[in-house]
Chains A and B, each alone.
Chain A
Amino acid sequence: DTGVSQNPRHKITKRGQNVTFRCDPISEHNRLYWYRQTLGQGPEFLTYFQNEAQLEKSRLLSDRFSAERPKGSFSTLEIQRTEQGDSAMYLCASRVTGGQTGELFFGEGSRLTVL
């Protein structure tokens, strides 16, 4: 399957621990996005990459959050010193630059539970 892949799908951690999520976008997609979704809410934008360049970060992305896309392919989202408020579904999406439709293709998400 050549869709967007995210792992792990579920992560349970204790407060204060670090966690890392990985996203593998569709191979020809040069734009990659991270969103956070809490229960009952729509996805909230966190950050996005064009190739390996991180072009925008939301104010939601505190200093404890860092995202990379070192070779313009897969991306990682790391959360340091997790807090209970970080519990959410973290969604990755990708798309091509300048495509006519601009639709985003989403992965299944990585659900984080911080105890």
Chain B
Amino acid sequence: AQSVTQLDSHVSVSEGTPVLLRCNYSSSYSPSLFWYVQHPNKGLQLLLKYTSAATLVKGINGFEAEFKKSETSFHLTKPSAHMSDAAEYFCVVSERGGYQKVTFGIGTKLQVIP
């Protein structure tokens, strides 16, 4: 069984300050982990992915995430928030083999204050 917990449903930051969106996962196997972003009335866009290579993963738009197996965490960070970062962010876990079941977190809505 696998699950994803996004610890904050809403996060509000000022423009230019760091962003931290938290994600914890549970999986019976070594999973692949992803962060997706969704802007209003748009589909989901992949920000970054962890697939067992480097534990610090860099994505698009200056985002990065660190896979910490001991903490079963995959938190998303960005050093300096931009207004265009305001969106909903989803942490996703997927089995590597077989059916590759995919499970989404409930999402974290990021608000960026000018």
Render B73-94 as a binary contact track against A, CB cut-off 8 A, 1 for contact.
0000000000000000010101
| Complex interface: chain A residues within 8 A of B51 (CB) | 100-102
Separation of A98 and B96 alpha carbons in the complex (Å): 8
A-B contact count (CB 8 A): 58
Residue of A nearest to B92 (CB): A104
How many chain A residues touch the partner (CB < 8 A)? 28
- Give chain B nearest CB distance to A21 CB in angstroms: 13
**Which residues of chain B have C-beta atoms less than 8 A from A33's C-beta?**
102
Question: Are A42 and B90 in contact, with the CB atoms below 8 A?
Answer: yes
Number of B interface residues at 8 Å Cβ cutoff, please give it.
24
Contact digits for A85-107, partner B, Cβ 8 Å, 1 yes 0 no: 00000010101001011111111
Given contacts A42-B90, A91-B43, contact A103 B104 (CB under 8 A): no
Complex Cα distance A104/B43, Å?
Answer: 11
Q: Is the CB of B43 within 8 A of A102?
A: no
Complex contacts, B61 vs chain A, CB 8 Å: none
